[in-house]
Chain A
Amino acid sequence: MRILTIETTCDETAAAVIGDNLEVLGSVVASQDELHHMYGGVVPEIASRAHLERILPVIDETLRRSGVALADLDAVAVANTPGLAGSLLVGLVAAKALCVAADLPLIAINHLQAHVYACRISAGCEVFPCVGMIVSGGHSSLYRCRTALEFDLLGSTIDDAAGEAFDKVASMLGLPYPGGPAIQKAAETGNPKAYRFPRSLLGDREVLDFSFSGLKTAVRYTIAGPGKPDFGNIHLNETQVADLAASFQEAVVDCLVGKAMLALEKTGLNTLCVGGGVAANSRFRTRLGEEAERYGVALHAAPLHLCTDNAVMGAIAVERFRAGCFESLDLDVLPGLVRNKG
């Protein structure tokens, strides 16, 4: 079996060819970081224009690296939810066109499920059932994953996503985009106890939700006080930046790790799979490892190269292929967040 997987949910244009045993025959991620860097964020118009420009070259290059011709494929799979509408459409239309041209079945990928599935790929063994956690720029969610394809939402952010908080706090501290790596680096020399920032909802054992907007506001208030600050003109010395970064990062990590452990306790599951861009944060990974050991649970954090968006995690399409879950050609994009469904 050979499945072409396509990923265009946000800022990456990516494709891969996956085989029977989840082996990666070829994979391409056309990173758009350079473009985004100029504008301090995921710039959607640029993203969808870049998707259009890159999608065919990325697919061609993926097939070339895989040594697979279009006619050798068994299916085409594409992430159609959730994400930016215009970006999702580029991937979906490309996938449909290939299906029509080569008479192949179409498979839909849920981008969030795929992030959890990245852990299954690297584990090399079954990880389900498990608690699945996705922490990225757009999402901070916990799922009970009954199987690779059956997810029930346990909790998610009620305001900002963790990655978004990293980006916005980085911009307040005068650090570059993307905020995650910049804050991690600045935090290395900082004191995580220098500032006591709030851990919203952490003490509430009834819920598995996150809230990072109060934390963002607390950092803002600590830096700038009342009024309308121009963050470009606030001078912080290196120690202040390091301490603020470390204290902020520690607060986010406390909330993420705390709720992940609570989810394991509440579900009675003993496997935790963590994916998404924030899963690449080294402090988060260290703390997860420590807590997992303390609680005696199996931890599978996505390997670094599969934390940020990629098409390899679309290998979840192999599960859908085996389960006979194919889509008709009128499949649409579902840009919205998925609070009420897996």
Chain B
Amino acid sequence: MYQFQFQSGSEADTFRLGAALARHLPDGAVVALIGTLGAGKTRLVQAIAEGCGVDRRDVVSPTFVLVHEYPGERMLYHIDAYRLKDEDEFLELGPEEYFESDGITLIEWADRVEDCLPPERLEVRIEVIGEEKRVFELVASGRKYEAALDALAASLRAE
């Protein structure tokens, strides 16, 4: 499976998706988050972090600080490209170090730095369809992400 769509009617649904991602993302996963202002990118990161044993209140927007690191059961790297002018500025943050680690790297506004991302990754496009309602379009590139998406879809259907 390369693609999986998840409809979220509330933040509770988003937290279910986050928990499933936390269970099924492979070590060293890179997750590109794409969506407009207020789409819920940081919310999804909070949900994944909670699934990794991080207090969700510790997860705040990295817009100003650029990178947050959260040590949980798995290491999480939370990057925000909102204020970056170009891809060179992103590369100056040393993202390869995060990509090559065993932790999970989550990048908000990833569409702004697309060419700097590893070709194998999970892309999450978030669409706003109602005040609370969101559609999450998950697209896997690479076999380990395809396998993860298969397992994720199966576990969400079984819930």
Contact B61 A164 (CB under 8 A): yes
Contact of A42 among B46, B61, B64 (CB under 8 A): B64
B85 interface contact, C-beta 8 A: yes
B residues neighboring A (CB under 8 Å)? 36-38, 40, 42-43, 46, 56-58, 60-61, 63-69, 82-85, 88-89, 92, 127-131
Residues 183-211 of A, flagged 1 when their CB comes within 8 A of B and 0 if not, give 00000000000000000000000000100
Q: How large is the interface on A (under 10, 10 to 19, 20 to 34, 35 or more residues)?
A: 35 or more
Residues of B near A176 (CB, < 8 A) are none
Residues of A near B57 (CB, < 8 A) are 158, 209, 339
| Stretch in A66-74, A216-224, A318-326 with 4+ CB within 8 Å of B | A216-224
Majority-rule SS of B interface residues:
loop
Contact flag A43-B89 (CB < 8 Å), given A172-B37, A228-B36, A339-B57: yes
In the A-B complex, list the 6 residue pairs whose CB atoms are closest, starting with the nearest.
A217-B38, A138-B64, A220-B38, A45-B89, A41-B83, A160-B61
Measured CA separation A78–B38 after assembly (Å): 36
Measured CA separation A213–B43 after assembly (Å): 9
Measured CA separation A228–B135 after assembly (Å): 12
Contact A137 B42 (CB under 8 A): no
Closest to A44 in B: B66
Contact flag A226-B130 (CB < 8 Å), given A44-B83, A213-B43, A337-B65: yes
Closest to B134 in A: A226
Contact flag A335-B61 (CB < 8 Å), given A216-B37, A228-B36: no
Residues of B near A247 (CB, < 8 A) are none
Contact of A164 among B58, B63, B66 (CB under 8 A): B63
Measured CA separation A82–B92 after assembly (Å): 19
Interface centre among B37, B67, B130 (most CB of A within 10 A): B37
